[in-house]
A and B are shown apart, each in its own frame.
Chain A
Amino acid sequence: MKRYNPLALWLCVLFSMLSFAHYALGQEQMTFRSELNKTRYQSLLAELRCPKCQNQSLADSNAGISVDLREQVHFMIEQGKTDQEIVDYMVARYGAFVLYRPQHSSATFLLWYGPFILLAIGFLVFTTVVMSNRKRRGRSLS
């Protein structure tokens, strides 16, 4: 029979507790009118970045401003505001910085489509090199 190292087991338990604690830290108890509102709340918090912290979502952050913004998101959801209205509200105050998913605009054009442009250029270069090699080989054979 395989023996388990008790220390490793304890460490596993400890780390799993820590990771749960991490999720529980940044969240207050909130009541929602419907299960849908709760789901919307959770997904919005994951999409919005805390404006004070460099890389934490509103869901993860314990900063004072995140607590306020979570309350605001909760309030707006319960008021019947759409997700888009809530996102627009945040962007109007904190800028595009708060969006983890950047908007499609002229400023973010390269961000969204740059990789595809590079891919297309790479493909063009690849085909021209292959074509010219093939042509040269054809010439040397004849």
Chain B
Amino acid sequence: MRRFVFFLPLVCFLILGGVFYSQLGKDNQYVPSALVGKKVPNFTLISLENDQMVTQKDLPHGPYLMNFWGTWCPACHIEHPFLVELALKGVPIIGIDYKDQKHLAEQWLIEKGNPYQQVLMDEMGLFGLDMGVTGAPETFVINSSGVIVHRHQGVVNEQNWPELKGYLK
């Protein structure tokens, strides 16, 4: 018993050290999304292409990506070419033009190409709030049963695409 008490500080040190070591190098900006595991919340948004009202019934039935972007967002410029690449590979992407202006968005898609199956206008950012978006770009992976399985904050690129792709089924 005495001997155990003598070694107690060392045991505590090792346990704490192990815990701290396992946390080293983790992304401390990472915040889990509250929406993961839930269905896409109800919405009614206006389509950029044809001014039609779009609700969640009009979303794709298979797995797809939902990408929040805006012409005001510098990182979206960097992300865009990769999204175009993904679209060419046949990945369905729904674009949410987040807190943006219609004519700027139209111009952007004409100039840079349109990787989106559908672009919906969220001018007030209210759908963004419902999705728990904190900025752009932000990308959600939605599986074939319409459940959000992953949220990626920041640019989607070659490095992190395999992770997102893993959820896309």
Question: A interface vs B, CB < 8 Å?
Answer: 51-52, 54, 63-65, 68-69, 72, 91-95, 97
A–B Cβ pairs within 8 angstroms, 17 of them: A51-B31, A51-B132, A51-B134, A52-B134, A64-B135, A65-B134, A65-B135, A68-B129, A69-B129, A92-B34, A93-B35, A93-B129, A93-B131, A93-B132, A94-B31, A94-B134, A97-B31
A94 near B125 (CB under 8 angstroms)? no
Quick check: is B28 within 8 A (CB to CB) of the other chain? yes
Return the chain A residue nearest B153 by Cβ: A52
Q: With A95-B33, A95-B34 given, is the CB distance from A52 to B125 under 8 Å?
A: no
A93 to B32, CA, bound (A): 11
**Cβ–Cβ < 8 Å partners of B134 in chain A:** 51-52, 63, 65, 94
Q: How far is the CB of A43 from chain B (nearest CB, A)?
A: 21
Closest CB-CB distance, B157 to chain A, in whole Å? 21
Chain B residue with the shortest CB-CB distance to A95: B34
- Contact between A95 and B31, CB atoms less than 8 A apart: yes
Q: Are B34 and A93 in contact, with the CB atoms below 8 A?
A: yes
Give the complex CA separation of A95 and B32 in angstroms: 8
Q: Does B85 sit at the interface, judged by CB under 8 A?
A: no
Contact of A54 among B29, B34, B130, B133 (CB under 8 A): B29
B28 contacts A94, C-beta separation under 8 Å: no
User: A-B contact count, CB below 8 Å?
Assistant: 38
Measuring CB to CB, which residues of chain B are less than 8 angstroms from any residue of chain A?
28-29, 31-35, 99, 125, 128-135
**Chain A CB within 10 A, most for which of B28, B132, B133:** B132
Distance (Å) between the CB of B18 and the closest chain A CB?
Answer: 17
6 residue pairs, one from A and one from B, having the closest CB atoms: A95-B34, A52-B134, A93-B132, A65-B134, A51-B134, A94-B132
Could you say which residues of chain A place their CB within 8 Å of the CB of B135?
52, 63-65
Determine if B29 and A93 form an interchain contact, defined as CB atoms under 8 angstroms apart: no
Does the CB pair A94–B29 fall under 8 Å? no
CB distance from B136 to the nearest CB of A (A): 9
Question: Which B residues touch A92, using CB under 8 A?
Answer: 34
Task: Kindly list chain B residues whose C-beta atoms are within 8 Å of the C-beta of A68.
Answer: 125, 128-129
**Interface pair B129/A91, CB less than 8 Å apart:** no
Q: Which residues of B contact A63 (CB under 8 A)?
A: 134-135
A51, A54, A65, A72: the one contacting B28 at CB < 8 Å is: A54
How many angstroms between the C-alpha atoms of A97 and B35 in the bound complex? 13
Known: A64-B99, A93-B129. 9 other contacts (CB 8 A): A51-B132, A54-B29, A63-B134, A63-B135, A93-B34, A94-B31, A94-B34, A94-B132, A95-B32
How many whole Å from B73's CB to the nearest CB in chain A? 10
> Given the complex, which residues of B lie within 8 Å of A65, measured CB to CB?
133-135
Expressed in whole angstroms, the Cα–Cα distance for A9 and B29 within the complex equals: 40
